Amino acid sequence: MKSLQMILVVLPLALARKLQPRANTITLDGSTTYQKIIGFGASEAFGHSNQFQNLADPIRRQVLDILFNKTSGAGLTILRNIITTGGIEPKSPGSATNAPTYTWDGKDDGQIWLSKAAQNEYGVKTIYANAWSAPAYMKTNNNANNGGYLCGVSGQTCSTGNWIQAYANYLTQYVKDYQSSGVTISHVGFLNEADASFPYDSMRSDGTQAAEVITVLRATLDAAGFTSVLINCCDFEGWSLSQTVLQQVKSAGAIDKLGGLTSHGYAGAPGAPFTFSNLPVWQTEWADLSSAWVTSFSSGGTSSGLTWAQRIQSGVTTSNLSAFLYWIGAEPAASSSSAMLVQWTSTSVTASKRLWAFAHFARFARPGALRIKSTSAGSLGVSAFKNTDGTLSLQVINSGSSSVQFTVSGFGNVTQVQPVLTDDKNDFVFGAKIAVASGSFSATIAGTAMMSFIPG
C-alpha cells in the first residue's frame, strides 16, 4: 500500500514537470557560417527620386537620414534604380545594326542626385540599375509596355533585325553615363517580372532567352572595361517562378556569367534555398500594394512591422538571402498606400514600423557580414550575424502576445550587450546595457516585439 501511495504522488509531479514550458534558450555558434550579406534597401523608381530631390531642406535631409544614416536611421545599403525606356536612346536608329544616338541629361529623373547622396554621403556601395524593358523599337510589340520580347532571342524575330547586341550596348552605355556623372553602378539587370505583361514598362522572357542576353551583355561590359559590374537576373514575380527561370539559365550555360540571382515576393515568398547555384540570392522587390498606410508594429496585417521583421528574418535564415529590398523607400504622404517605408509632407517625415524592422538588419548586419548559426529552444524567432570587424549581432522576434524571458549563449568575448527595441510604443530604442559572462546573458522581450543585441 505504501508503494502505491508513492506512485500516486510521484506521477503527478513528473507530469507537471513535463507540462512546464521549455526554457527559452538561444544559442549562437560563430564557427558555423552561412551566406555573406550584401545588404538591405529599396528603390525610388518611377519619378520618386525626382520628387525626393525637389524637397526643401530640412525635410529632404531628414528623409535621406532616416533611410540611409547608420547611426540615426535605418542604415539601408542598397539602392535599386530603374533604367527607364527611351531615357538614353529615345529614337530608333532604324535597324539593329545602325549606330545609335545616345543622349544623357546627367539627371536621370533625380536618380543621379539620389545615387550620389547615398554613395558619397552615406557610403552606399551597392547601386543596382535594373531595366524593366528594352526600348520599344527593340521589341516584338514595338511598345515599351504590355510585354513583348526582345527581337532576336530564341523564337522571336523582327524585320529590323536581332537587337540583343544593341540592347547590351544600351545597358553598357547607361553604366558609362553614370560613371561620367560620378556614380559607380555595382549591378545591372535587364529584366523585371518578365513572367507577365503589364500596362507599363515590361518585357517577356524565359530562361533560355535570358541566357542569350546574359552571354552578350557580359562580353559587352567586359569589353568596355566594366568587369566589376555584376549582372543580376531575373527578378521574376515569385520564388518558384524565379527558380524555374534561373534553372533554365543554368541549363543554357549562362549562370556562371551572373553575379546575383534575383526574385520578387509578390507571387510567392522566398522559400527553400536555391540548390543549383552558390551565387548570392537577392529578394529585390516586395511590398504590400493593396493596404492603406500602416505605421503599427503588431497590427496592420501584411503591412505591419512585425510581418516584415518576420519576412526578412525568414528570408535570411530559411532562404539564405544575401539581400532584401522593399519596393519604395519614401514617397509623398498617401493614406491609401503602404507601398513605401517612409512618407513625407512639406513639414514632416513619418516612418512606418516596417522601416525600423529593416533597421534591425541593415544597421547590425552590414555588407560583408556572415550569417552564423543561431538556434532557439523556445518560440522566439532568431537570426545572428558576424560583421567584418568580428562583432556579433542577434535579432530576436516575439510573435506571441506575452513577454518571454530567455538566455543567450555564445555571444563572444564581450562584457556587455546593448539591447535595441521596436514594438508599438518604441522605434528602435536603445535600452539599458546587459552584463555578459562567458558569452552568456539573460533578457526579456515583450509580446509582439523585436529586439536586437549588439556589443555594448
Q: How far apart are CA 203 and CA 217, in angstroms?
A: 17
Looking at 48-161, which runs of residues are DSSP E strands?
A: 78-83, 126-131
**pLDDT attached to residue 6:** 29
Q: Which amino acid is at 119?
A: Q
Q: Are 408 and 282 in contact (CB under 8 A)?
A: no
**Full pLDDT tens readout for the chain, 456 residues:** 333 332 223 334 343 333 344 469 999 999 999 999 999 999 999 999 999 999 999 999 999 999 999 999 999 999 999 999 979 999 999 999 999 999 999 999 999 999 999 999 999 999 999 999 999 999 999 999 999 999 999 999 999 999 999 999 999 999 999 999 999 999 999 999 999 999 999 999 999 999 999 999 999 999 999 999 999 999 999 999 999 999 999 999 999 999 999 999 999 999 999 999 999 999 999 999 999 999 999 998 999 999 999 999 999 999 999 999 999 999 999 999 999 999 999 999 999 999 999 999 999 999 999 999 999 998 999 999 999 999 999 999 999 999 999 999 999 999 999 999 999 999 999 999 999 999 999 999 999 999 999 999
**pLDDT attached to residue 12:** 41
**pLDDT attached to residue 23:** 63
Distances (CA, A) of 414 to 58, 251, 371, 392: 39, 48, 19, 10
Q: How far is CA 5 from the centre of its chain?
A: 63
**pLDDT attached to residue 15:** 37
Q: Tell me: the pLDDT tens digits for 306-320? A: 999 999 999 999 999
Q: Which residues pair with 78 in a beta bridge?
A: 41, 126
For residue 34, what is its C-alpha cell?
Answer: 552561412
Q: Tell me: the pLDDT tens digits for 268-303? A: 999 999 999 999 999 999 999 999 999 999 998 999
Q: Are 302 and 288 in contact (CB under 8 A)?
A: yes
What is the SS3 assignment for 247-282?
HHHHHCCCHHHCCEEEEECCCCCCCCCCCCCCCCEE
**pLDDT attached to residue 396:** 98
**pLDDT attached to residue 86:** 79
The HSE-up count of residue 331 (CA atoms within 13 Å, CB side) is 20
Q: Are 61 and 73 in contact (CB under 8 A)?
A: no
Beta carbons within 8 Å of 10's beta carbon, 6+ residues apart: none
pTM for the model? 0.94
